Amino acid sequence: MPNSNQLHEDLIQIVGEAGLLLRSENLQPDDQRSCYTIDGIGPRAVVLPASIHEIQEVLGYAADSKLSVIPAGSGTKLGIGNSPEQVDLVLSTSRLDQVLEYEPADLTVTVEAGIPLAVLQAKLAEHGQYLPLDPPYTDRCTIGGMTATNSSGPSRLRYGSTRDCVLGMRVVQSSGTVVKSGGKVVKNVAGYDLNKLYLGSFGTLGIITEVSLKLQPLPEIERSVFLTFTEIGEAVNVASEIARSQLLPTFLNLFVNGAPLTESPEPCLLIGVDGHPETVEWQIDAVKTIAKQNGAIGVEVYEGQRQQELHASMCAFPEGESAAPIVISRANLRMTDVAGFVNTVVEVNDASTWQVRAMGLMGNGIVYVAFSDFPDGDVPMQYVADTVANLRDAATNVGGNLIVESAPTALKRQIDVWGPVGRSFELMKAIKAKLDPIGLLNVGRFVGGI
């Protein structure tokens, strides 16, 4: 393994001065390298290749030098996963940030993996189009990072997840082999759908360099309906009735004890509708009717800047970046099991000495639970670990699962952030061994330590 000086010289030969960030022992919070610190461990170097060829060269060098490589975009999702023992190289695609091909008439676009979502949305908006995804860190996340983590957001209720928007991609495997899957058109059905293999693989199978996506026209108008209730059961009932109805909400989110940016501590629903003005007004009227018939104590409709602020705060709910300790979990459930899980969260809230907040993506079966504001600013590790275990049991007992997406490093070393894998684990290990036989990419950080 090369020493720091040799590592610097060797990597400069591959990516140049502009493509290399070295570890600093006196890293400042606003330093660019701090984005790539993982559970308090800084990488020996952050490499930012500007081409597929440079990525191949970096991977070949890392393999020869027995250095591990952790793929990244802007670094917003690096906190998800097991804590690494050490971090050799972080390979960021942030310099691969170009729109390669855009056909507005076909509603498709092909981009390099490092382009930020916000930049892409601005380019698409010039043609009255957008990518209907609203994941956490919307202002900073990259298309490659979203694809590698299958990160979507509340609007997946109507428009689907990242998995549904990806038409094709180009990936560099650990051997340097470039693999292309899918295509640039919606009706590309020939062959195996290898896109799904890399989606959500967290960089363990290859480095995504290009992504082709299907788009949507920008809606004519957008509105958000905010409903408040006395009891959580009333909010769940309204959400369930809306989900079963002919309405097509963009998102349907339940907040157990108040939504961000609102002063209401009661259970509430935030419901998005978009499209043609007449259709939107009809849906708003229908939501109001359902709400009033089921005990809503407050009904408000937002548009413009207020609507955008509420939507942004809702998307940011799962973000784990905070100066104070925070623990964020995501339960994946059947829609019919959300109500029971939410009741368990309410019980946890009643018994806790810290703040417990929860947001449910009703219609998708996803519930985020956040623990914060710990007494004296310290996380009671064993107590929180036991609470997470109880919530995980509640999810697995109904056939779901629970992932810890953000937590202090000390807590992550006490718990399994991914939870039990099940019978698919042997297949996953076999795929990892086939596509990354030397164990180069993001080793030990994914489910089961693969």
Q: What CATH number should be reported for the domain holding residue 305? A: 3.30.70.2190
The answer to whether position 288 is within a domain reads yes
The last residue of one of the domains, among 173, 202, 217, is 217
What is the CB-side half-sphere exposure of residue 427 using CA atoms within 13 A? 5
193, 131: one domain: yes
Beta-carbon count within 10 A of 318 CB: 21
Nearest CA among 146, 151, 80, 91 for reference residue 113: 146
What domain count does the chain have?
4
- Which range marks the domain in which residue 207 is found? 99-217
pLDDT digits (tens, 9 = 90+) for 379-391: 999 999 999 999 9
pLDDT digits (tens, 9 = 90+) for 135-157: 999 999 999 999 999 999 999 99
Checking if the pLDDT of 21 tops 50, the result is yes
Checking if the pLDDT of 187 tops 80, the result is no
The answer to whether position 418 is within a domain reads no
Nearest CA among 357, 147, 398 for reference residue 260: 357
Task: Check which CATH number belongs to the domain holding 148 and give it.
Answer: 3.30.465.10
What are the φ/ψ torsions at residue 280 (nearest 5 degrees)?
-65, -45
Residue owning tokens 């804590």:
83
The answer to whether position 444 is within a domain reads no
Q: 239-243: which pairs have CB atoms within 8 A and are 24 or more residues apart?
A: 239/269, 239/360, 239/362, 239/363, 240/335, 240/339, 240/362, 241/290, 241/294, 242/271, 242/287, 242/290, 242/362, 243/335, 243/362, 243/363
pLDDT digits (tens, 9 = 90+) for 31-40: 566 789 999 9
pLDDT category of residue 443 using cuts at 50, 70 and 90: very high
* Structural contact between residues 435 and 206, judged by C-beta atoms closer than 8 angstroms: yes
* Report field, pTM of the whole predicted structure over 0.75: yes
The answer to whether position 59 is within a domain reads yes
What pLDDT, on a 0 to 100 scale, did the predictor assign at position 73? 96
Nearest CA among 392, 192, 223, 384 for reference residue 303: 223
The last residue of one of the domains, among 184, 217, 250, is 217
The last residue of one of the domains, among 64, 92, 120, is 92
The answer to whether position 424 is within a domain reads no
What residues contact residue 330 under an 8 Å CB cut-off, 6+ apart?
Answer: 318, 366, 367, 368, 369, 402, 403, 405
The answer to whether position 423 is within a domain reads no
Sheet holding 401-406, edge to edge: 298-302, 221-228, 268-275, 251-255, 355-361, 366-372, 327-332, 401-406
d(C-alpha 285, C-alpha 290), whole Å: 9
pLDDT digits (tens, 9 = 90+) for 70-114: 999 999 999 999 999 889 999 999 999 999 999 999 999 999 999
35, 128: one domain: no
Average pLDDT of span 110-135: 98
The answer to whether position 417 is within a domain reads no
88, 126: one domain: no
107, 207: one domain: yes
Average pLDDT of span 47-69: 97
What pLDDT, on a 0 to 100 scale, did the predictor assign at position 26? 40
Task: Check which CATH number belongs to the domain holding 377 and give it.
Answer: 3.30.70.2740
Q: Is 229 helix (H, G, I), strand (E, B) or coil?
A: coil
Residue 321 identity (one-letter amino acid): E
What pLDDT, on a 0 to 100 scale, did the predictor assign at position 33? 62
Checking if the pLDDT of 24 tops 70, the result is no
